[in-house]
Structure 1
């Protein structure tokens, strides 16, 4: 019989398939003395230690020894450092949002369940160990079928929800909620202080690529589109509800000249700045500012 893959193709290397995607469930091994310097997480990461001991240093796990059979979470935006005290093996799951975890339970834990004052690693329960052993055996490639990856993500979400209590899961949910909220606060507080996505990313200490990725996962919208919408809202408010001159508004929002500002308003709002200010030719209630411009 021919060697046929699950997707129906014959003798195909799944890593070169159009459905292949970057693997986010990674098996890794490191020698004693391996050191991961302190750095800011660009994604959420669950670290399941299969063998050995590592010393973890972060706000949540200050000077904590993580031992084989335990796991921790480090959330987007948090800082952590790792030192291997012995030869170690681990499975790491990197993700942006816990989308395969029950949203109702996540919300309940975030709002109703108090986390411990001192965080400690969680035990890897037998059902999760089976999952990790399987991941270690056949999910070792850098590229993997995205459908298989989605199944494994969903399976891990189910296992965590099924075999861990609300109190145990609070040590995962609260850091996720905390850093998500702090990122939102940073964006809302600072977006009007900058002119470009690059400037906002730099202000937060992120690379532009990382900032765009985190922003999309938190706000569910590309950052450029979001900033353009806020810019349009701000311009409209200033024109209709403040005494600032049109020139002041023009330069406040980064336009090089009044003609440039006027063209922008005509394109976005179908009216000149002066007519928007006086209420003439205002856009219909059903019209919405465009996202690009």
Structure 2
């Protein structure tokens, strides 16, 4: 029998539904001057720009202007920066692995198709634009029905694979393949889930000694030092680019008290948490006034 309490009229607040999950296909709009820095992607992300212009800076897209009607992919582990040159509207699709993609064609592109030497934004075709425009009104929320999200993920993957050539898709596929089958991918997806090197090693099924050896050979520094750098990087990013309160950031990163957190920031960044947040507001204003490419 149909359970009216599960959805629809029986549950006015869909966010309380047990099927609600974090939305991975998210619509957003930002004003001119919006400045967004991602020091290290923890997911793959495809950015579809519907309106306006944005300056992108990353290894793959160095100082590239993304125009309305274009999209790019940044793979997990990559670093990128975005500056809205005008008011912008976009849809961003975040995912860990390309499960919805056609596996046979994905492997064919990895093996047989050589990507361009210089990556360029792809044009949003009419079919893809229809999908994005038709979906954006109910993709604006942070939560979405799990079943609907799965349908939308499959539909989006179908459009990409059906309407774009192997050569065009090679820029997406080769970026993804560099990370998703690697030890590096495992590290980047899980480093924020553990507190110690021993926990990290156990999660991957390694002894601590083996994990340290492999990690050093891949990342060229000791694992503990790397984890500490990511911790500092995450704190600085959240202070400068999120709306989380200082208290929320403090306890999220395991500090026992606000004074302890403040001392940590002064020691590592030279400023208190409040001063770092204030400084970020001033730098964003300066970025709006400059049209120079952002540095990565």
* Structure 1 length-normalised TM: 0.63
The residue number in structure 2 matching 1:231 is 207
Question: Given the superposition, is the C-alpha separation of residues 186 and 205 from structure 1 closer, same or farther in structure 2, using an over 3 Å criterion?
Answer: closer
| Count of matched residue pairs | 204
Displacement, 1:185?
5.3
Unpaired segments of 5 or more residues in structure 1? Answer: 188-200, 212-221, 235-293
Displacement over 4 Å in runs of 4+: 4-9, 204-207
Paired with 1:24 and 1:83, the residues of 2 have a C-alpha distance of: 22
Question: Given the superposition, is the C-alpha separation of residues 47 and 185 from structure 1 closer, same or farther in structure 2, using an over 3 Å criterion?
Answer: closer
3-state SS of paired residue (1:100): coil
Instruction: Work out whether 1:208 is the aligned partner of 2:207.
Output: no
Paired with 1:232 and 1:116, the residues of 2 have a C-alpha distance of: 40
Question: Given the superposition, is the C-alpha separation of residues 105 and 223 from structure 1 closer, same or farther in structure 2, using an over 3 Å criterion?
Answer: farther
3-state SS of paired residue (1:167): helix
Paired with 2:170 and 2:177, the residues of 1 have a C-alpha distance of: 10
Displacement, 1:180?
2.7
Q: Deviations over 1:13-42 (max 9, x none)?
A: 222110110111111111111111251111
Paired with 1:210 and 1:130, the residues of 2 have a C-alpha distance of: 41
3-state SS of paired residue (2:207): helix
CA contact (8 A) 2:24 2:93 kept: yes
CA contact (8 A) 1:42 1:210 kept: no
The residue number in structure 2 matching 1:53 is 53
Q: Deviations over 1:52-102 (max 9, x none)?
A: 000100010011000000000000001111111111110000110110000
* Structure 2 length-normalised TM: 0.63
Larger Rg: 1
Unpaired segments of 5 or more residues in structure 2? Answer: 211-296
CA contact (8 A) 1:78 1:179 kept: no
The residue number in structure 1 matching 2:41 is 41
Indicate the RMSD between aligned Cα atoms, in angstroms. 2.9
Question: Given the superposition, is the C-alpha separation of residues 225 and 206 from structure 1 closer, same or farther in structure 2, using an over 3 Å criterion?
Answer: closer
Displacement, 1:10?
2.6
